[in-house]
Amino acid sequence: MAVKAGALVLMLTIACALAAPPARAQDKPVNIVVLGDSLAAGFGLAGEASFPSRLSAALKAKGVAANITNAGVSGDTASGGLDRLDWSVPEGTEAVILELGANDMLRGLEPEITRRALDQIITRLKARNITILLCGMRAAPNMGAAYTKAYDAVFPELASTHQVVFYPFFLEGVAADNTLNQRDGLHPNAAGVDVIVRRILPEVEELIARVRASRS
């Protein structure tokens, strides 16, 4: 009797497996790399409080399937990100959240240097059919009017030229708010990261939608 029951269970399992529709390509988790600096790496925070980790949790809570890799390097410039692009964004990556350029500004690098590096990163990622979300940055008030005008223009112009998903200011709602930043006033605390995630989530969902549309 036990043997017959076991056989029946096996037959039912096989029948269910055969009847189940195959997983659609659009429904598979999207492989995302966050290519950035300390704001992505989670400087001064526990690993689970970093931007990639909190973003992953937010997407999961909404039922959005995504595998997010943290490729943030503290202190990195746009040129540094370009230098490590190939090994930081491995094969199988479908989307990149590009968060670089803040350190260029803090070091007073010419905005054209930042522009060229970001442009090359985007161009090379697009050549690999990787979908991109570009995160903008704004110059600090003490950088002067001329520098601020040139630097702030880099990100929206690149987004327009390359037609990528664009989030104008990565630190929107967080910058200059002492309650949302660590003591250095530059890096968000855990609460600040949650604000960033909440604000950028619509653009991340658009990024994922573009990847899924490209799969069909």
Residues taking part in catalysis: 38, 184, 187
Closest CA to 194 of 96, 48, 35: 48
Tokens of 215: 């799969």
Closest CA to 215 of 59, 55, 23: 23
> Which residues neighbour 62 within 8 Å (Cβ) at sequence distance 6 or greater?
201, 205
Distance of alpha carbon 214 from alpha carbon 216, whole angstroms:
6
Closest CA to 158 of 215, 202, 92, 111: 111
Q: Is the separation of the CB atoms in 101 and 118 below 8 Å?
A: yes
The CA-CA-CA angle for residues 201, 205, 207, to 5°, reads 115
Strand partners for 65: none
Helix (H, G, I), strand (E, B) or coil at 68: strand
